[in-house]
Structure 1
Amino acid sequence: MKKLLLYSGIIAFLVLSGCTEKKSKTEYSNPLDVAFGDPYVLKASDGKYYMYGTGGVKDGFRVCSSDDLVHWKEEGQVYKGNTEDSWGIGDFWAPEVYEVEGKFYMFFSAQWKENPTNELENFRIGVAASDKPTGPFKEISNGPVFDPGYPIIDANLLFSDDGRVFMYYSRCCYKHTVKSEVADWARKQNLFEEIEESWVYGVEIKPDFSGIIGEPVLLLRPPVKMDNKQTEWESRSVTSGEVNRRWTEGSYIFKKDETYYMMYSANFYAGKNYAVGYATSKNPLGPFTKADNNPVLQKNTEQGGEVTGTGHNSVTWSKDGKKMYCVYHGRTKASGQERVVFIDAMEVTNDGKLLVHGPTTTPQVLD
């Protein structure tokens, strides 16, 4: 009897003291206690997750680490630009880190200091390397990966089955005026005289990331016709009178079975209409077909929720690799204009449809 009472007391103590943490470690509510824009999660070979993103430090990037995707530890600044040795100046954003043969490579966007015509948007993509996911990351060259002749952002990589590496990026809207029925409509409505657009391109990149192979291929762009199924959700920043730009940016590609899925964000990143769609292809450089069930992630205020500005996502997997999670930024009433991180379950159904089960703010368990 004394042993039974002793065991009962131990169990009660563990429960009350929180030592039985299996449930508490995985139960969470969005948003996470992490303020990042453009969040990217690396599932590293050391068994941990590392999250990189835009904001939180001056002149570069910081990283947080986690064992369970819920509790994140601040690891500090991992890259610093705006130095004499860096090619990038001004703002830095959209870092993504890849582990390759024991080293870690960070792709990021920044303003290129080589700017003889004083362009307002002179963005390019660079690479920095480190022996650890927590840095410090040092640039592998004194310039961007390549110069296409126009500003580019939001690099994302695909390591294909045949050993080739592909880089995807977004051409900026800056000085990229595009004719379309949407632009004609906006002009007739006296909203905007012209509409600028950003487009997603793909290109093979050298295995050492020192340059590209071949020429970039246009993969995704906003629709031209008003009756296109994608026009309504991809044009909300224009049709609401918010801004004279239509974006296709923040791409993230992965392969499922024999299909390549490219997720992308549309509308103004700082506005409520930022949303995510996807397109599919049988080849890494397309052609890609946009999905009928787009958008797969968007604001939920019309349904009584409080989340807006959902976008620029990455994808990560559970420790056993069986479950997929969409990692993205958004805004709530509490966060105001600050972008905070959300993680929600996602899946590809048996009939090939990609679904994101979000945005959520109610308690749930992350398996």
Structure 2
Amino acid sequence: MGLSTDFPDPTFLKAADGKWYAFGSNGNDKRIQVAKSTDFNTWTLLNIDALTTLSTWETDKDHWAPSVILRHIKMSQANKQTLTNAQDDGKYVMYYSGESKLSIGHHCIGTAISESPTGPYIPSNTPLSCRLNQGGSIDPSGFQDADGTRYAVFKVDGNSIGHGGDCNNGIEPLVQTPIMIQKLQADGVTPVGDAVQILDRDTVDNDGPLVEAPSLLLHQGVYYLFYSTHCYTDKAYDLRWATASSIGGPYRKKNVQLLETGQHGLTSPGSATVCGCGDRMLFHGFCNSAKTTRCMYVADVSLSGEDAVIS
């Protein structure tokens, strides 16, 4: 286990100081939680709220699934001097889900910037994605392609406007919950064109009422898209993956459960983030009998070809 406390939807990065930082959804009286590790195995929950201020579009509720990237400082190839433009300034960019004031109970994806991995992150008053007419936008995750192009992947929260039942989307007609990819400018916050759908729930694939929590990485020429299926409160909640040979897809579901209830004594494991290095990940699972606390877990993962296994 990584943290024996409520720390849902964990994501992480290796910061400029060489340490690992994990970020979790609201809990422990924080909007955005932060933990730190020097070895990725032993984690310390910090008494820090990374998001101390709010943007103008959001309420003070439901800050979910943060993801942080580092805007690396580049060096000029001509004279090796540091390039100090605003798009590669060594700052940290956080993506997160927050409740929209325009549509209570539905969410937008916000961005916030900090000089430090632990914050404070200063939010933008312009959300990256809302799609409120489709249920809202949640579960953002940053990604940088081999050519340096930045993207964010996220879920359209269609089940939030469903017709009841399992995760509010178990009664026909079921609402789609697509995973989208949004190309970004080098600053990591400015959209380029429209987001494109790369995955969705499917009854044929036994996805249940939704797919969510995307995490994208590139490993040896293969794009791996990790995601969870079913409702997070259900024992059927799990971790799966799809692969593609190009960033825009098509992504082919492997329909294999990388993590599932009962494996290693876990209950409802999912919402994982996999390291871009392709060898480790963080995820959450229920860790009390009442299923009110989602602890953070650490695992080693091995990627080969289009396959993934917990090692």
In the superposition, the TM-score normalised over structure 2's length comes to 0.83
Does 1:87 pair with 2:30? Answer: no
Q: Shift of residue 120 of structure 1? A: 4.4
Does 1:206 pair with 2:181? Answer: no
1:41 & 1:344 partners in 2: Cα distance? 13
**1:142 counterpart residue number:** 125
Does 1:344 pair with 2:299? Answer: yes
Q: Shift of residue 163 of structure 1? A: 2.5
Does 1:299 pair with 2:264? Answer: no
Structure having the higher helix fraction is 1
For the 8 Å contact 1:313–1:328, the answer to whether it is kept is: yes
1:354 to 299, 308, 311: 308
| Amino acid of the structure 2 residue aligned with 1:284 | I
Aligned ranges 1:173-252 → 2 under 5 Å: 173-175=159-161, 192-224=171-203, 228=204, 230-231=205-206, 234-235=207-208, 246-252=209-215
Q: Shift of residue 82 of structure 1? A: 6.8
Q: Any unmatched runs of 5+ in structure 2?
A: 73-89
1:345 & 1:276 partners in 2: Cα distance? 14
For the 8 Å contact 1:40–1:52, the answer to whether it is kept is: yes
For the 8 Å contact 1:54–1:93, the answer to whether it is kept is: yes
CA shift digits 1:12-49 (9 cap, x unpaired): xxxxxxxxxxxxxxxxxx36334310011211221111
Aligned residues: 285
Q: Greater CA radius of gyration, 1 or 2?
A: 1
For the 8 Å contact 2:142–2:150, the answer to whether it is kept is: yes
**1:43 counterpart residue number:** 14
1:176 & 1:193 partners in 2: Cα distance? 9
Relative to structure 1, is the Cα distance of residues 201 and 108 closer, same or farther in structure 2, using a 3 angstrom cutoff? same
**2:76 counterpart residue number:** none
**2:25 counterpart residue number:** 54
| Amino acid of the structure 1 residue aligned with 2:258 | V
Q: Among the aligned pairs, what percent are the same residue?
A: 24
Q: RMSD between aligned alpha carbons?
A: 2.4
2:178 & 2:100 partners in 1: Cα distance? 20
| Amino acid of the structure 2 residue aligned with 1:327 | L
2:200 & 2:251 partners in 1: Cα distance? 10
For the 8 Å contact 1:198–1:247, the answer to whether it is kept is: yes
1:59 & 1:196 partners in 2: Cα distance? 32
2:240 & 2:129 partners in 1: Cα distance? 27
Matched residue SS, 1:174:
helix
For the 8 Å contact 2:223–2:244, the answer to whether it is kept is: yes
For the 8 Å contact 2:11–2:272, the answer to whether it is kept is: yes
1:272 & 1:216 partners in 2: Cα distance? 31
Relative to structure 1, is the Cα distance of residues 66 and 59 closer, same or farther in structure 2, using a 3 angstrom cutoff? closer
Q: Shift of residue 213 of structure 1? A: 1.3
Q: Any unmatched runs of 5+ in structure 1?
A: 1-29, 178-182, 184-190, 236-245, 358-367
1:110 to 81, 88, 98: 98
1:161 to 146, 163, 170: 146
Matched residue SS, 1:56:
coil
Q: Which moved more, 1:193-202 or 1:306-315?
A: 193-202
**2:81 counterpart residue number:** none
CA shift digits 1:228-262 (9 cap, x unpaired): 4x22xx22xxxxxxxxxx11110000001111000
Does 1:78 pair with 2:49? Answer: yes
For the 8 Å contact 1:200–1:249, the answer to whether it is kept is: yes
In the superposition, the TM-score normalised over structure 1's length comes to 0.71
Aligned ranges 1:312-331 → 2 under 5 Å: 312-316=271-275, 324-331=279-286
